[in-house]
A and B are shown apart, each in its own frame.
Chain A
Amino acid sequence: MTKIIQTKNLTKEYDGFRAVDNLNLNIDAGEIYGFLGPNGAGKTTTILMLLGILKPTQGEVYLMEEPLSKNPLSLKKKIGVVSETQHLYKEMTAGEYLRFFAELYRVKNKEKRIDELLTAVDLLDVKNKKLDAFSRGMQQKLGFARALLHEPELLLLDEPVSGLDPAGIKQVRDLIEKENRKGKTIFISSHLLSEVEKLCKKVAIINKGRLLAEDTMQNLRKKLTDFIQIEIELVEIKKEIMDTLNSFNFVKEIQQENKILTLKVTTDKDHRAEISAAIARNGGVVLGINIREMSLEEAFVTITQKNISLLASTEEAAQ
């Protein structure tokens, strides 16, 4: 599979301080990739290096499998960027602003494309309105339209939903998913972990300039905890059911509250079928089973606070 972004030992130093330390990222084409880290972790520095705006102290950035340093302009033409703040030309109207960037990126049928995108972000009505009258949310959505103008292969989003209301967040999320379905690779750096969790298949966690984890959400959870909680709602809880469940080796703890059982089970495999079969054997009727997994937020806090690296195990797993 084509590697859309690849960094090899990417390092950035400022007066002896390592903002980014030997970063190795691998992002496949078509992925939605979450790039997470606490404030000052080196996320923005990394993004600026991916865009060729900052020169790495050491290492190399590859975009679409070509070194960025060799042909930066034609590679950057294939990227769309939405940053936290849009920095618009306030004296322009939305239409003029997009027309300027459409010309810069040599977009064909630019008027049609501009109208298409303004419709997608719900800004067509304000096409001729000056940008100094735009709210933060409107500016953010216009930034999205600008980033998508030239049908980029890669979308780099730095805090893309910053300043948006819930409806705006949903609209942007839908837009991201739609672009991803079209085959675009999406790189998201965000503090809104719930959003990242909803969108991203794979996440990387960076802290103090170092990559601590890079994996799918499922694998990250597995690596961080040996147990998950399964909540089972029953019509009636019988003693035989409790005895059978207690006899399983993979069940480490059972809590009962009214007609709901909460089981702490090992993550070695999916035990739900085994559990529901045992309940049925003992005459129980299952109304519902829920798995309560570790959230991305919990994983993020665990990894960054303890500064634990999951990379070695990732490599082993890959081997």
Chain B
Amino acid sequence: MNERGISLSTHSTKILTRREFLSALYGWGFYVAIFISFLVSSLILRNFLQGIREDNIFISSYPLNFPLFVSMVIISLYLVIVSAVSISREKEQGTLEVLFYGPVSSSSFLLGKYFTDMLLYLIIAGFFSVYFFGVSLITNLGFTVALGKAIFVSIFIASCVISFGLFISSLTGKVRSSIVWLIGILIGFLVIWFFQNMFRGIPSEALSSWLIYVQRTLNVIYYFVNWVSPFSYLSRGMESIGVGSMRPFLLNILYSVVYTVVFLTASIYILKAKGVRA
């Protein structure tokens, strides 16, 4: 692509991002997701404070990290659904084809979707910061460096979640298929996680030969899922803060960036190959 093409592509991405972003801000889904996440984290904090009141003691290095983690899970679910239907919805409605009549390419379109969702998450991260800072002032639970790091790493985790959603969306041509695929894959991840954990607790000596084979196979699949599932990056990211060392924290950020690049690139190629029609 020559420079003019790149400039057109960048411009299209900017315009598409702005339109999508304003459309999300005028919708109710974004606010519902924020409300639910704050409601749940407030309930968790209320339980913490009640425990302190009753027992007069509360032992935790990072007391606000758990409510943040739960909020992140809720927001991630919102982001993955929004991104998973974003391309397929435009394909189904035919609006994607109309965009492609003009100076819009697969990459500019996909990046527009990605940046929109990232902007939405940055707003949410801003709310998280203000909310937890306020909570720390009121409750004396302390706005620690670890909480700051958790909010920072959550941006990269959101990036993984959004890329994963866009990848699912690029594979499908209808909103319903995107949702079915997304739920199917997430349930698949959960099932693998559940069985792998179940087998992990059983010593190999207690298993028959074919169950050992199942255990090994599950371990391999689980290892793969650990790299593919964006939610693994969420738990790993939060764990990396708990460790206290910078290395796992930075490594997790690096892995998240690589994950995002790989999934976005794959989505662009899939969109190109499958075309703009549902």
Contact = CB atoms under 8 A, between A and B. Distances in A.
A71 B2 contact: yes
B102 interface: yes
Contacts of A54: 275
Contact of A87 (B2, B12, B97): B97
A72 interface: yes
Interface in B64-98: 93-95, 97-98
Contact of B102 (A77, A83, A89): A77
B50 interface: no
Given A53-B97, A87-B98, A100-B15, A77 B103 contact: yes
B159 interface: no
Nearest to A102: B15
Interface stretch (A103-111, A177-185, A263-271): A103-111
Nearest to B96: A87
A51 B101 contact: yes
A104 B275 contact: no
Interface string A70-98: 01111011010101011111010000000
Given A87-B93, A87-B94, A73 B100 contact: no
Contacts of A227: none
Contacts of A89: 95
Contacts of B100: 51-53
A67 to B, nearest CB: 13
Interface string B19-32: 10001000000000
Contact of B95 (A53, A73, A87, A106): A87
Interface in B256-278: 275-276
Contacts of A87: 93-95, 97-98
A76 B103 contact: yes
Contacts of A104: 11-12, 15-16, 99, 102-104
B101 A76 contact: yes
Contacts of B15: 100, 103-104
A101 interface: yes
B102 to A, nearest CB: 6
Nearest to A100: B19
A54 to B, nearest CB: 7
A91 B89 CA distance: 14
B94 A79 contact: no
A198 B4 CA distance: 39
B172 interface: no
Interface in A32-81: 51-54, 71-74, 76-77, 79, 81
B41 interface: no
A104 B8 CA distance: 9
B112 to A, nearest CB: 11
Contacts of A81: 98, 101-102
Contacts of B170: none
Given A53-B275, A53-B276, A73-B9, A105 B101 contact: no
The interface centre, meaning the residue of B1, B18, B103 with most chain A CB atoms within 10 A of its CB, is B103
Contacts of A51: 100-101
A91 B275 CA distance: 25
A72 B105 contact: yes
Nearest to B23: A91
B2, B23, B100, B101 interface centre (most CB from chain A within 10 Å)? B101
A104 B17 CA distance: 11
Contacts of B51: none
B275 A73 contact: no
Nearest to A101: B102
A54 B199 CA distance: 49
A279 to B, nearest CB: 56
Contacts of B1: 71, 73
A53 B99 CA distance: 11
Contacts of A103: 15, 18
A86 B98 contact: yes
Given A53-B275, A53-B276, A100-B15, A74 B98 contact: no
B95 to A, nearest CB: 5
A87 B102 CA distance: 14
Interface in A251-284: none
Interface in A273-313: none
A101 B104 CA distance: 11
Contacts of A88: 95
Given A77-B103, A89-B95, A91-B23, 18 more contacts: A53-B97, A53-B100, A53-B276, A54-B275, A71-B1, A71-B2, A71-B5, A72-B5, A73-B1, A73-B4, A74-B8, A81-B102, A83-B98, A85-B94, A88-B95, A104-B11, A104-B15, A104-B103
11 contacts: A51-B101, A52-B100, A53-B275, A71-B4, A73-B4, A73-B103, A77-B8, A87-B93, A88-B95, A100-B15, A104-B16
